[in-house]
């Protein structure tokens, strides 16, 4: 899975991925939520997170997510949405990274489901802290179900992206080998 590639190329790729994640995040934020439950959304930016978890060191994936969350809050939200995003994102990564190592590339969608579920759990924990009441836990089961669905969806999308990028990369390597 780990590719031989120069660090510079990796950093450039990470930059592009972060920008892509940010754009997806900002655009998705403009679409009003169809369900009247705070926190329910597809989380399309997580396609990039899932991809990064599978293709980079954990520290790189973490950095990408941190930058995306911080800049995303600056562009689109308020400090309060930052608190929810960051706690969700960190718990999501903390679970998804070991799970991805355990179950391998064949089950990207599955890591993504677990990641989404953990993301929503982290958000709920932050909401309990911010609102100073456990009343918001009433939404947790809804968020878990929506997390399973959204996670499977973004996971499948990430799987498609992986297949595409891998085949592109092979072509690229081939052509650069030909050049040499």
Partner 1 sequence: MTAACIFMGGCSGGNGYFDEPVSKSDFLMDTYMTVTVYNGSSSAPEKALSRAGELEKKWSVTDSSSEIYAADHSGGKPVTLSEDTADLVSFALSMNEKTDGALDISLYPVLREWGFTTGEYRVPEDSRITELLESVGCEKLSLDGRDITVPDGMSIDLGSVGKGRAGDEMIKTLKENGVTSAMLDLGGNIQLLGSKPDGSDFRIAVRHPSGEGNLAKVEVSDCAVITSGGYERFFEQDGNIYWHILDPKTGCPAHSGVVSATVIGKSGTLCDALSTSLFVMGTERAADLWRASDDFDYILVTDDGRAVITEGIENSFTLYDEFSSMTVEVVRREK
Partner 2 sequence: MKNKNTAAAVVIAAAAVILLSSIAAVVISRRKPAGSTVEIISDGKVICTLDLSSEPDREITVEYKGRKNIIAIENGDIYMKEAECPDHTCMKTGRLSEAGVPIVCLPNHLIIRYKNGGGDTDAAA
Binding site for partner 2 (CB under 8 A): 32-33, 36-38, 77-78, 80, 84, 99, 102-104, 106-107, 110-111, 113-114, 117, 127, 130-133, 135-136, 138-142, 144-145, 148
Our finding on whether 33 is near partner 1 (CB under 8 A) is no
Binding site partner of 134, from partner 2, partner 1, none, Cβ cut-off 5-8 A by kind: partner 1
Binding site partner of 79, from partner 2, partner 1, none, Cβ cut-off 5-8 A by kind: none
Burial 70-96 (b: 16+ CB within 10 A, else e): ebbbeebbeeeebbbbbbbbbbbbebb
Among 33, 133, 167, 175, binds partner 1 (CB under 8 A): 133
Extract the tokens encoding 39: 């926190």
Q: List, as one string, the DSSP characters of 35-94.
A: SSSTT----TTHHHHHHHHHHS-HHHHHHHHHHHHHHHHHHH--HHHHHHHHHHHHHHHH
Q: How far is the CB of 79 from partner 1 (least distance, A)?
A: 15
Nearest CA to 154 out of 162, 142, 166 is that of 162
Choose one: 90-98, 129-137, 160-168, 169-177; the region binding partner 1 (CB under 8 A). 129-137
Extract the tokens encoding 4: 């031989």
Our finding on whether 137 is near partner 1 (CB under 8 A) is no
Binding site partner of 125, from partner 1, partner 2, none, Cβ cut-off 5-8 A by kind: none
Binding site partner of 116, from partner 1, partner 2, none, Cβ cut-off 5-8 A by kind: none
Q: Which is closer to partner 1, CB of 133 or CB of 167?
A: 133
Q: How far is CA 159 from CA 1, 54, 138, in A?
A: 14, 10, 32
Residues 72 and 22: beta-carbon distance below 8 Å: yes
Binding site partner of 148, from partner 2, partner 1, none, Cβ cut-off 5-8 A by kind: partner 2
């Amino acid at each position: 899975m780990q590719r031989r590639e120069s660090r510079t190329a990796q950093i450039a790729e990470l930059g592009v991925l972060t920008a892509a994640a940010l754009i997806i995040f900002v655009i998705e934020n403009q679409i009003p939520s169809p369900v009247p439950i705070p926190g329910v959304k597809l989380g399309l930016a997580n396609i990039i997170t899932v991809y990064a978890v599978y293709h980079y060191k954990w520290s790189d994936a973490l950095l990408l997510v941190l930058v995306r969350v911080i800049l995303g809050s600056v562009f689109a939200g308020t400090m309060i949405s930052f608190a929810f995003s960051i706690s969700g994102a960190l718990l999501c990564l903390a679970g998804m990274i070991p799970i991805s190592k355990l179950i391998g590339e064949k089950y990207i969608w599955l890591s993504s489901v677990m990641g989404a579920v953990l993301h929503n759990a982290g958000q709920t924990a932050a909401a309990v802290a911010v609102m100073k009441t456990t009343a918001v836990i009433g939404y947790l089961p809804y968020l878990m179900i929506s997390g399973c669905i959204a996670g499977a969806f973004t996971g499948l999308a990430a799987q498609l992206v992986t297949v595409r990028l891998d085949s592109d990369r092979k072509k690229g390597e081939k052509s650069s080998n030909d050049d040499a």
